[in-house]
Amino acid sequence: MCGIWALFGSDECLSAQCLSAMKIAHRGPDAFRFENVNGFTNCCFGFHRLAVVDQLYGMQPIRVKKFPYLWLCYNGEIYNFKQLQKQFGFEYQTLVDGEVILHLYNRGGIEQTASMLDGVFAFILLDTANRKVFLARDTYGVRPLFKVLTDDGFLGVCSEAKGLINLKHSTSLCSKVEPFLPGHYEVLDLKPSGKVASVELVKFHSCKDEPLHVMCDTVEALPSAGFDLETVKSNIRILFENAVRKRLMAHRRIGCLLSGGLDSSLVAAVLLKLMKEININYPLQTFAIGMENSPDLLAARKVAAHIGSEHHEVMFDTEEGIQAIEEVIFTLETYDITTIRASIGMYLVSKYIRKKTDSVVIFSGEGSDELTQGYIYFHKAPSPEEAAEESERLLKELYLFDVLRADRTTAAHGLELRVPFLDHRFTSYFLSLPAELRIPKNGIEKYLLRLSFEDSNLLPKEILWRPKEAFSDGVASVKKSWFSILQDYIDQQVDDLLLEKAAEKYPFNPPKTKESYYYREIFEKHYSGRSGWLPHYWMPRWVKATDPSARTLKHYKSATQE
C-alpha cells in the first residue's frame, strides 16, 4: 500500500504542484520521493511509500537498467510475480513484486501485462521510447486511482482525489477529477510538450471471466470438475485457502480485522492456520471494535478463543464516533450513508492498530457479501438468475462502496489491506456456479459458503451459521443500533426547513433524510461540486427500504432474538 501521484504537461511550477501530492502522505508514512522525468521538464512522479516488501530497493518510480526508458509508479501487490518470473525467465533487478510489470510490458505490451497480474494494483507506466503513458487498475478497484485530463492535454493521476482537486492549470479543471474504472487500462500518447492525448480505454477483465493468469497460479488446475455439491464445496475450500496463502507475502507484521461475522472469521481462521504451516514466528493479532454490549465484540471474542489469536478489543463511545464523522467523510471522499456509518468503526480500529501495535498488513473480509449473496435483501430476490445479476452488479460497484471504505479507512493510518474474498480466481469460480446453488437457502444467506466449511472445524458452529449483521450495525448493541445513535444526534443538528429545501440545493442525489443531508453538507465543504463521484446511494433492492441498514428489514433477526 502506498500513494502514487503523477503529472504530465503541467503549465505551473512543479515544485508548487508538489504540495498536492502531500495530501496523500498518509498512504506512505515511510518515505517520499518526487522525481522529474528526463527530457520532459513539465512531467513528474510523486510517491509515498509504505515499505512492505524489499526495504532496500522499493522506492518509486521503479526504473531498471534493462529498460531505462520505462518509469513505473504503482500501488498494490502482485502475488504471482515469482511464478511469472519462472514462466517467462525474467531477470529481476530488485525484490519488488511490481518490477514484473516492466518485464511483462516489454515482453507482450499493456494488454498482456494487465491481464497476467494476479493481485491488486493501480499503476502509471511511462514509456519514453515510444512516447506512451499507460494507466491501469485491478478488476475490483481494491487499489484506488483517480485522474483528471483537461482539453489541452494536462493529465493528473493520484491514488486519491484529494491529491488532484487543488492542482493549478491555465485552463479550469472544472470537476473532471474522476475515478479510474476498475478492470480497465488506458493508453495515452505523450507529446514532445509533455501533454497527452487519450488513445483508448480498454476493459481487460470481467469478474465472471477466468483470469488469464490462471496458468501461473499455485493451484494450476482444480482436482475435479462438475457441479455436484461435494466437488463444489471442495473447490471453494481449495481456492479460498489459496487466496489467503498467496496474500501472506509481506516483510511486515500481519494482522486481521475480526468482527465475529462469517467473512472476517473465515479469513482469520484460514490465515492463522496457514501462518502456522509456514512457521511465521509471531502470533496473529486480531482486532474487533464495538460499543458497550456490541454483538460483534462478543462473537469476535468467541472466534479468537477458538482459533487462538492474540485478540485486541477496541471500545468506542457515542462521542468518539460522532467526533470522527467529518474526518471520516474527508478521508472517504463520499457522502454515501451506509459507507460513512460503517467507516467510522473501521477508521477508529485502524487508528488503534497504527498507534498501539506493529501490525501493518491487515487482512479483512470485504467482498464476500457481494460475491456470495450475503445481504439480507437477497432473500427477496425474484429468481436465482436475478440474484446472480445483482451479485455481479454489486461486485462491479465495490469500488464506490465497501472497497472504497476498506481502502481509505486503513490507508488513512498507513496500513495495507488484503482482501482474499476478492481473489480473481476465487470470484470467477464462484460466479461460474449455477445460479440456483448460490442463493440463500433455509432462510440463511451465504448458505453455500457456510456449507463448504461446515466440516472443517475452522470455526465454532454458532459463528459459521451466525446471521448477517452489517458492520455499521454490529458495532452497537441490539437495543440501539449505531445508525439510530447517529440519527438522534444529527436530528438536533439539521433544521426541518433545510431538509425540505434539500432537493433545491442538491438536485443530484438529493438527501432524503437529515442524516444524509448532514453528510452531504460536510462532503460539499471539502469537495464542493463533486457529488458525481457517487452515482447513487447504496440501498437494498426488492424491498421498500428507506434506510440501508439490515436492521430495518423484516427478515433481520439478531442472535438474542432466536
Pairing of strands 2-8, 40-49: antiparallel
Which of the residues 2, 158, 207, 216 is marked catalytic? 2
Smallest CA-to-CA distance from 39 within 215, 168, 175, 194 is with 194
pLDDT of 562 reads 37
Residue 90 · residue 62 · CB < 8 Å:
no
44 assigned to active site? no
The x, y and z cell numbers of residue 508, run together, are 443530484
- Residue 552: pLDDT band (50, 70, 90) is low
Distance CA(268)–CA(248), nearest Å, equals: 12
Distance CA(535)–CA(537), nearest Å, equals: 7
Pairing of strands 310-315, 285-290: parallel
Question: How much of the chain exceeds pLDDT 70, in percent?
Answer: 93
pLDDT digits (tens, 9 = 90+) for 351-389: 999 999 999 999 999 999 999 999 999 999 999 999 999
pLDDT digits (tens, 9 = 90+) for 416-460: 999 999 999 999 999 999 999 999 999 999 999 999 999 999 999
Residue 185 · residue 111 · CB < 8 Å:
yes
pLDDT digits (tens, 9 = 90+) for 94-119: 989 999 999 999 999 999 999 999 99
Binding residues for ATP are: 257, 289, 364-365
**How many helices (H) and strands (E) are present in the chain, helices listed first?**
21, 17
Binding residues are: 97, 257, 289, 364-365
- Residue 215: pLDDT band (50, 70, 90) is confident
pLDDT of 561 reads 43
Binding residues for L-glutamine are: 97
Distance CA(313)–CA(547), nearest Å, equals: 29
pLDDT digits (tens, 9 = 90+) for 191-209: 999 999 999 999 999 999 9
Residues forming a β-bridge with 444: 441
pLDDT digits (tens, 9 = 90+) for 130-189: 999 999 999 999 999 999 999 999 999 999 999 999 998 876 655 589 999 999 999 999
What is the phi-psi region of residue 272: left when phi exceeds 0, alpha when psi lies from -120 to 50, beta otherwise? alpha
More confident residue, 51 or 408: 408
pLDDT of 342 > 90? The answer is yes
Residue 468 · residue 496 · CB < 8 Å:
no
pLDDT of 560 reads 40
